Amino acid sequence: MLDSIKIARNVFEIEANAIKNLTTLLSDDFDKSVKLILKSKGRLVISGMGKSGHIGVKISATLASTGTPSFFMHPAEAIHGDLGMLTQDDIVLAISNSGESEEIMRIIPLVKRMGIPLIGMAGKENSTLANEADYFLNITIKEEACPLQLAPMSSTTATLAMGDALAAALMDIRDFKPEDFAMFHPGGSLGRKLLTKVKDIMTSKELPTVDLNSSFKEVIKTMTKGRLGLCIVMDKEDVKGIITDGDLRRALEASEKSRFDFLVQEIMTSSPKSVTSNTMAIEAEKYMLEHKINDLLVIDDEKLVGIIQLFDTGNIS
């Protein structure tokens, strides 16, 4: 085995154990921190130096995108004016693996003087940060994954995991839903998937329709002109069925009857599956995949308003 693969596996094992060990370190302070954040009318302000700061930026971004207003405040900049970004309604979450980072130590008394609640996240339960914080989140690790035991690896992984745990707990209590997530992610494929409704991508003009008395030739002509690979069987304004190109092939294969002798009722699929125009496109896609179909009628108030096909939903990916 290559040494590099052996080292990688060792890193994975050490860091996985570091995260697993966090379950034994959870205390009531975690629950109290969550409740404090929920009651806050302000922002959760994350601060940390060095690698803790880098992880803090990610934690803040995760919180902000999942319903908890948050931003990162660099501790070195904080003592040079950025403390002015804080309000009485805010909460500060300070991160320091040692619990003794100089820059963090300098802002603690200032934060407390402002009467702002302080949550501390550190890897030393007897550290200054742990003792000064209103609530303490313990991220102690047994060893770093770094071969030299110098670069923060397991400690940053544990920090990130604790931040994710906070975000997940807050999401659950807030009943944060996919559509809420989408509101904060309108750009890119994720936002499009979660915000797009059936009405945004359905075909609604010149729908290919035939009636119950249409001939086989009329079905073929309508299907060809419609370019959707199907036609909809109507009785005035009522939908009676759908005929896809697959339905045509199956009917011809299953009978010796001449194709021109087929009745529409013999070919169509009665009571075709449908959705409303306000259905989320991603849900329509899931529905089609579950039922192994490529087409859904769009019906509002018992009236046909469009067709959505599986390849339409691919345009929002």
For residue 162, pLDDT over 70 is answered with: yes
Residue 91 · residue 37 · CB < 8 Å: yes
Is 81 exposed, middle or buried, given 0-12, 13-18 or 19+ CB atoms closer than 10 A?
Answer: exposed
Lowest-confidence pick of 24-28, 180-184, 262-266, 270-274: 180-184
pLDDT confidence of residue 97:
96
Average pLDDT of the residues in 22-35: 97
Distances 291 to 45, 286, 306 between C-alpha atoms, Å: 47, 9, 19
Question: Which numeric CATH code is attached to 3-176?
Answer: 3.40.50.10490
pLDDT confidence of residue 178:
74
pLDDT tens-digit map of 99-149? 999 999 999 999 999 999 999 999 999 999 999 999 999 999 999 999 888
Mean pLDDT of the chain: 91
For residue 173, pLDDT over 60 is answered with: yes
Side-chain-facing half-sphere of 228: CA atoms under 13 Å: 27
Name the band, by pLDDT with cuts 50, 70 and 90, for residue 70: very high
Q: Which fold has domain 198-316?
A: CBS-domain (3.10.580)
Torsion of CA 219, 221, 223, 224, to 10 degrees: 160
Q: Give the start-to-end residue ranges of the domains of the chain.
A: 3-176, 198-316
Residue 77 · residue 106 · CB < 8 Å: no
Average pLDDT of the residues in 245-264: 80
Is 28 exposed, middle or buried, given 0-12, 13-18 or 19+ CB atoms closer than 10 A?
Answer: exposed
Q: Is the dihedral of CA 274, 277, 283, 288 positive or negative?
A: positive
pLDDT confidence of residue 246:
86
Average pLDDT of the residues in 261-270: 85
